[in-house]
């Protein structure tokens, strides 16, 4: 049995797709399991590569759709097509019996079309638009099984439901079979790595204040108030950033919070150890906040203008989800939650 997972991006979406690897292994422990993913997010799934002591993903197929689109003006079609052919060759090096596509976008559906398939191959994908999620109805033409899901359905549960249809197994019940993300032994090993920020374990709080959509951001005044409270409790407040605009905001916040720091830019690989070794992570609805939640780090997820039901961390009691669409969390709520979680 050869199985291909297609989940290209983005950071949070890939994280919420991880549990299907565990679901696949329960049904097909000896199958070959490959994953096609955007090259920028390969580090998110490398911890799931099969080893002598762990059975996870057998092969990663890195794709560069985003990069090639940006480079088209400079390189020209002939050069771009060479890269596309090389990636197509990877997709056709194995004949797949089951393909699970949980993105619901044309670009990811096209990957399922390019992949080599056995004569009776199953291609399972999302069969309808869900609330507050991107979806392109044309993708149903690429599937042999279109899986209709509720309009309001958590991202993890949606991925697991699509996988279950492809695997011909019952849809997992989250209360009976909670999602698994990374091997616990690997998560534990993160504590032994040198801290990429040069900080001591459990001495700092990561504050992920930035995200691509501004409406999802919490106010500057709120971050300052919470940062000062945490600083008074002897914790180092860290304001990370991902681009120049975010760096400027981090610097403005750090000026107002005693002993706060603005770190250098760090990679996804570094983010594993940084989040795992933090005393607490507080962040808006963004990928690096969700990374902390799936690692089991004590986490407060802030929902300012996005639906909490869609991505809230429900699998661990040390995750607190606050706020909801157009109902930003209050400063007092966050401080109370922080007090409960870290004391």
Q: List pLDDT tens digits, range 151-195.
A: 999 999 999 999 999 999 999 999 999 999 999 999 999 999 999
The arithmetic mean of pLDDT across residues 242-264, rounded, is 97
Domain boundaries, the chain: 2-181, 186-342
SS3 38: strand
Q: What architecture (CATH level 2) is domain 2-181?
A: 3-Layer(aba) Sandwich (3.40)
Closest CA to 331 of 307, 300, 305, 308: 300
Q: Helix 77-91 vs helix 106-114: angle between axes, to the nearest 10 degrees? A: 60
Q: Does residue 74 carry a pLDDT above 80? A: no
Let me know if domain 186-342 sits in CATH 3.90.1150.10: no
3-state SS of 92-105 is CCCCEEEEEECCCC
Calculate the average pLDDT of the chain: 94
**Can 2-181 and 186-342 be said to share one CATH topology?**
yes
Provide the pLDDT confidence category of residue 132 given band limits of 50, 70 and 90: confident
| pLDDT tens-place string over residues 14-25 | 999 999 999 999
- pTM for this predicted structure: 0.94
Instruction: Report residue 72's pLDDT band, with 50, 70 and 90 as the boundaries.
Output: low
Q: Report pLDDT digits (tens) over 259-269.
A: 999 999 999 99
Long-range contacts of 28-33 (CB under 8 A, 24+ apart): 28/1, 28/3, 28/167, 29/55, 30/1, 31/1, 31/2, 31/3, 32/1, 32/2, 32/3, 32/58, 32/59, 32/94, 33/3, 33/5, 33/57, 33/58
How far is 33 from 27, CA to CA, in rounded Å? 12
Backbone torsions φ then ψ of 59, nearest 5 degrees: -155, 140
pLDDT of residue 73 exceeding 90: no
Helical residues (DSSP H) of 38-101, grouped into ranges: 42-45, 65-75, 77-91
* Three-class HEC string of 107-173: HHHHHHHHCCEEEEEEEEEECCCCCCCCCCHHHHHHCCEEECCCCCCCHHHHHHHHHHHHHCCCCCC
C-alpha distances in Å from residue 53, one per residue of 34, 56, 107, 121, 213: 18, 10, 35, 30, 40
């Amino acid at each position: 049995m050869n199985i291909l997972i297609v989940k290209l991006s983005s950071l949070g979406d890939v994280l919420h797709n991880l549990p299907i690897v565990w679901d696949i292994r329960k049904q097909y422990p000896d199958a070959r399991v490959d994953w096609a993913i955007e090259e920028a997010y390969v580090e998110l799934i490398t911890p799931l590569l099969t080893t002598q002591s762990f059975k996870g993903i057998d092969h990663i197929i890195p794709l560069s759709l985003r990069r090639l689109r940006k480079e088209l003006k400079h390189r020209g079609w002939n050069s771009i097509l060479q890269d596309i052919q090389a990636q197509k060759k990877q997709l056709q090096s194995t004949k797949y019996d089951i393909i699970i596509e949980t993105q619901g976008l044309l670009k990811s559906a096209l990957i399922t079309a390019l992949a080599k398939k056995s004569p009776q191959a199953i291609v399972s994908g999302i069969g309808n638009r869900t609330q507050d999620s991107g979806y392109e109805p044309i993708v149903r033409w690429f599937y042999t099984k279109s899986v209709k899901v509720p309009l309001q359905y958590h991202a993890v549960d949606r991925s697991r439901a699509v996988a279950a249809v492809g695997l011909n197994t019952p849809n997992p019940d989250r209360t009976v079979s909670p999602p698994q993300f990374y091997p616990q032994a690997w998560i534990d090993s993160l504590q032994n790595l040198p801290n990429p920020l040069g900080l001591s374990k459990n001495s700092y709080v990561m504050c992920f204040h930035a995200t691509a959509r501004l409406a999802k951001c919490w106010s500057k005044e709120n971050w300052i108030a919470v940062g000062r409270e945490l600083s008074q409790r002897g914790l180092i407040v860290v304001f990370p950033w991902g681009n120049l605009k975010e760096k400027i905001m981090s610097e403005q916040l750090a000026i107002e919070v005693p002993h706060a720091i603005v770190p250098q830019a760090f990679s996804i690989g570094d983010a594993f150890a940084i989040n795992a070794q933090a005393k607490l992570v507080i962040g808006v609805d963004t990928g690096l906040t969700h990374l902390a939640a799936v690692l089991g780090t004590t986490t407060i997820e802030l929902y300012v203008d996005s639906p909490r039901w869609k991505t809230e961390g429900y699998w661990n009691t040390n995750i607190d989800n606050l706020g909801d669409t157009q109902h930003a969390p209050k400063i007092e709520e966050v401080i109370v939650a922080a007090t409960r979680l870290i004391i």
